[in-house]
Amino acid sequence: AQGEKVTLPCTFVLSEEDEGPLDIEWVLIPADNQKKEQIIIMYAVDRIYNHYYAAMTGRMQFTNPDPRSGDGSLDILNLKSADTGTYQCKVKKAPGVQSQKIQLTVHVKPARTKCSVEGSQEIGKDITLKCASQEGSPLLSYDWRRVSGTQELPATSMLNKNTGELLLKNASQDYSGTYNCVASNRVGTDECSVELNVTPPINTAGIIAGAIVGTLLGLCILAFLVFCCCKKHREKKYEKEVHHDIREDVPPPKSRSSTARSYIGSNRSSLGSMSPSNMEGYTKTPYSQVPSEDFERTPGQNPTFAPSKVAAPNLSRMGAVPVMIPAQSKDGSIV
């Protein structure tokens, strides 16, 4: 497994016929036959050489510090997936040579495994529990188990060990609980858990009806506010037009006092030319008749005065000045 330590064995026995210095080599045989072998570590002339392969510098060593004892095994520390390959051990001592090959495969343990629920967790629905490891060498295998309640998977469940999916058909409320998934391969395991809560279906019709009623109510309130604003605006506009409306073609009304003054003034002018001959006309007209605002005098018509026996009207109420009215005695003189 990645991150662990591995020992590649290489043992030998020296015979009496073997002469000369001992030479031990470990080489990495490339997958491509056209490439040369790469020396990893070597023992020669009672000395170890381990600087040939930079990718394993500091991560490899002979199992036995003295390979002359007949043990030339190699230890590789903190394995990496890139260390996968074919390794060969060569033992040389004249006149003979021995070698053996070892296939090393570095696996990655399952890691960062995550569990999830797919589908609506409602009664009668199909629910899928998913499990997947983001790290791990093939072949990964997944297994689900229930860790709460009866601790047995529902009878309608269907498990796919290769994909990690657990299908629960026609879910019921009894399916609720905690489920655990274990991901495994040849070198390790990893696991995760998920909580399943099966509930009754949501009343979608009630929710939709409530939303519609709320929307209509909001529109009604908005329409009422718009109506009130428009009505208030029209009232202000009408008041403003009435306040500034000036009719220039209508003359101002005449007051009763000014009409009375005009009437009295005309009488004064007539009195200035009074004579015994024209006094008779004044006595025939009753003075108690007060001219109205619409009083109009025709040209050439002189006003007449009432006899002295008729009381004079109170002209002070009309805003006019009192006038002394002449009268004629029995002998014909003016009094």
Class of domain 6-104: mainly beta
Residues 6+ apart with CB under 8 A from 208: none
Does domain 111-196 fall under CATH 2.60.40.10? My reply is: yes
* Residue that wins the pLDDT comparison between 268 and 137: 137
List, for residues 275-284, the tens digit of each pLDDT value: 444 444 444 4
> 0.75 exceeded by the pTM?
no
List, for residues 225-236, the tens digit of each pLDDT value: 888 888 887 777
Rounded-to-integer distance, Cα 168 and Cα 124, Å: 10
List, for residues 142-178, the tens digit of each pLDDT value: 999 999 877 889 998 999 999 999 999 999 999 999 9
pLDDT for the residue 290: 44
Closest alpha carbon to 197 in 175, 181, 180: 175
Place 14 in a pLDDT band, splitting at 50, 70 and 90.
Answer: confident
Domain with CATH 2.60.40.10 in the chain: 6-104, 111-196
